[in-house]
Structures are given as C-alpha cells and as structure tokens.
Amino acid sequence: MRYLERYERQLRIEGWDQDKLSNSTVMIVGVGAIGCEIAKNLTLMGVGELILVDNDVVEVSNLSRQMLFTDKDIGRPKTMVARERLVEMNQFIKIRDYYKDVRELDNSIFEEVDIICSCLDNWPVRRWVNSMAVELDIPLIDAAMDGLYANLQVVLPGKTACLECHGETLIPREVQLAECTLRKRKPEDLKRELEEQNIVVDLELVKKLFEVGIKTVFDIKYSQAQILERVDEEVKDKIREIQELLKPKMPALQSVAAAISGLATTELVKILHGESLGKIFSGLIVYDGYSTRFTRVKLDKNKVCFVCGDYVKTEGAEIKVKLDEKVIDLKKKVAERFSFPDPEILYKKWRLEDDQVLREIGIRNNDIVYVETSRRFNPLPLKILLVDTE
C-alpha cells in the first residue's frame, strides 16, 4: 500500500504504467551534474534498478551543480556516494555502482540494461557508448551541456540516427582533428606541440606521459581519472596545470543541468512506456539559455554511417589500399576516414604489425580485416579494395 501511495500522483497520468518503470534497469554513464539529476529523477519515480558508472571522485568544484554530493564526500568515488544518497530517497529501488571506466565493464552487465543514459563530458567515451548501444540494440539518451547551452539526442538503434550519423557536423571540429590523428608518435612530437602553444615541458615528463597513453595535446586536455591515478602526484599536478592552460574547465550551471535532465528523463520514461505516453522524440534538442530557446533538429538516419548504417551492416565499410603499402599506411587511412586515433588491424588470426607490407601478408581484393579501437564496442569489419590488383 505504501509503495503505491508513494507514486500516487504519477499514477494519475493517462497512459502511465508503474510496472514498466519498476521492472526496468537503466544505466547512467557519467555521474556529474546531468547524471546526478537524471539518477535523482528516476529514483523518485521508482525505476526498478539503476546502474551508475563513473571513474571520478567528488571535488569541491562539483558541489555547486552536482546535488547528490556534499563537502564531506570530497575525495570519494561519485558512484558510491550517489548510491548512498539515492537509497535514502527511495528504499524500493536497487542500485549498483561501478567506480571505473564504462569500457572496462563486463559485457554481461550491458545485456541486463533496458536503456542507457550517456551523461559524459568527452567525445571518445561517448562514441564508444553510442557504438555499444547500437551493437546491443539498447536505446540511448545522450545529454550534455556547456554553460547556458545544452543538448539532448535520443538514439533508437535501427530506427533513428546515432551520434556518428552526423558526426562531421555535430562533433566539434577540434575533436575531429584530434581523433583522426594516428597516435604512433614520439615524445618529441608532443613536446613540440606543447611548445607551439607556449607551454614548455621537460622531455622526461613527456616520456612519463607516453607511458600512460598520453600522446597528444588532446589526450592531455581530456585525461580521465583512471589515467591520472597511474602517475605520481608531481606528474598529476603538472598534467592539471597544462590542462588549465590548454582548456580551461567548461562553464557549467546547475539550472541548465536540471533543465536538460528533466527533458532527458521524460523521454526515457516515454521509451520505457512504448507509445502510451506519446510519441518518442527522435532527433536533437538544443537549448540556448541566453535566448530561452529550444531548437528541435531533425536528424535522418545515415544509411552509410559506419556505426549504424544499413549498408555497413550488410556489405561492410570499404577502404582502398595498394599492395606495396605497409600496415601503418592502412592505419593512417583508417584514422583519417573514421576518426579512430588508435586503430589496430586484425586479419585472419593475426594482429598486424606496422612495418608489415600488405603484399607479403597475402591480403587479397575484397578480403575483410577488422579494426579494433577504443572508440568502438566491437571491431569494425573493413573490406579491402586493392587499387593495383594484378
């Protein structure tokens, strides 16, 4: 009786079915300002189970907009603190928390999920989550903000555009340029790039950055918590110092987080209900707080999208190469075309080495290779088209 009384007001909504919420599992990736708000909303509404994923800890600067955290939580994992607060709000829901990069989770966890909320602040992991959702046919809601601007995209695999369908237009140009840069580099390359931006660093420091996978200016800008944990305090402080010079922290406002999170939660609930609460939005919503304007952008599904495109799924993506080229040349073409900064090429039972020549490997026209990258959940099948077939 108490359970039904808790949800009495929302039960009055025409088309509402509390069982559809209570029997569902929602994963929230990123427990920042937007992630906290959506988690709070779903907890109060009575979703059956929440899975919280984040690899960061609470900082002082979080407290102005991440309403699940207080001063006493500084230094603790966000997912752990969020679970404790949410359970206090509603004892009837189940919550699991994972203090790690979402890409490190066992695949079996994703198979339990009915819908995913991406509340991330960086494109590399957003691309991976998008790919995972499409591969596993899980609806995805992606929400983000920047100061008084925010956006929301709903991805229904096989039905609507995914995040990559219009990536050339929607992904920031700087990110695109960084993502298509192949990371087969030397420490001297990064040192030179930093000096071009008037940031002088010791080569020994750069070598330490390379050891943990930081090889480009972009890597420094968006270094995640799990990377910073692998370096000593002196190097960590230096990375943060360089980050502030390269990219001052993004402006953020609690009210904007609450606004876009409210819309995201509503669309999520509509997806769980099917069509009983109205037509599910498909496309992109952009919020401009300066002019108090919401803009709906129609996004058509891209048939040749290399993540969700019908052609890619049936025929596979294609790439042209010459037999006298090396594997590193193929990797560069893959990086430029698909914006994969770290492609690895798999052929038959082998992982190909950079200096191998395609002719010597025995690759033939129309052979399939597979591209592994941290930007995709599963390897990308790639059909080889030889332009110098003999």
DSSP string, 147-178: TTEEEEEEE-TTTS--TTTTHHHHS-HHHHHH
Residue pLDDT, tens place only, 231-263: 888 888 888 888 777 766 778 899 999 999 999
Residue pLDDT, tens place only, 265-288: 999 999 999 989 999 998 999 999
**For residue 55, pLDDT beyond 70:** yes
Residue 6 CB-half CA count within 13 A: 15
CA–CA separation, 284 and 37 (whole Å): 20
pTM for the whole structure: 0.86
Name the CATH architecture for the domain at 2-172+251-297.
3-Layer(aba) Sandwich (3.40)
Please give the pLDDT value at position 240.
Answer: 81
CA–CA separation, 226 and 191 (whole Å): 23
Query: CB burial class (10 A; 0-12, 13-18, 19+) of residue 203?
Result: exposed
What residues contact residue 21 under an 8 Å CB cut-off, 6+ apart? 45, 46, 47, 48, 269, 272
The values of phi and psi at residue 270, to 5°, are: -65, -40
Residue 250: C-alpha distances to residues 61, 161, 199, 258 (Å): 12, 27, 20, 17
CA–CA separation, 321 and 332 (whole Å): 11
pLDDT band at 93 (very low <50, low <70, confident <90, very high): very high
Q: Which fold has domain 316-386?
A: 3.10.290
For the record, the structure tokens of 75 come out as 């230094």
Contact status, residue 154 vs residue 280, Cβ threshold 8 Å? yes
Q: What is the largest CA-CA distance in the chain?
A: 77
CA–CA separation, 192 and 213 (whole Å): 17
Q: Tokens 């941290």 correspond to what residue?
A: 374
Mean pLDDT of 202-209: 87
Contact status, residue 98 vs residue 77, Cβ threshold 8 Å? no
Contact status, residue 37 vs residue 258, Cβ threshold 8 Å? yes
Please give the pLDDT value at position 288.
Answer: 97
Burial track 45-57 (b if 16+ CB lie within 10 A, e otherwise):
bbbbbbbbbbbbb
Mean pLDDT of 195-216: 84
Percent of the chain with pLDDT over 70: 93
Please give the pLDDT value at position 226.
Answer: 61
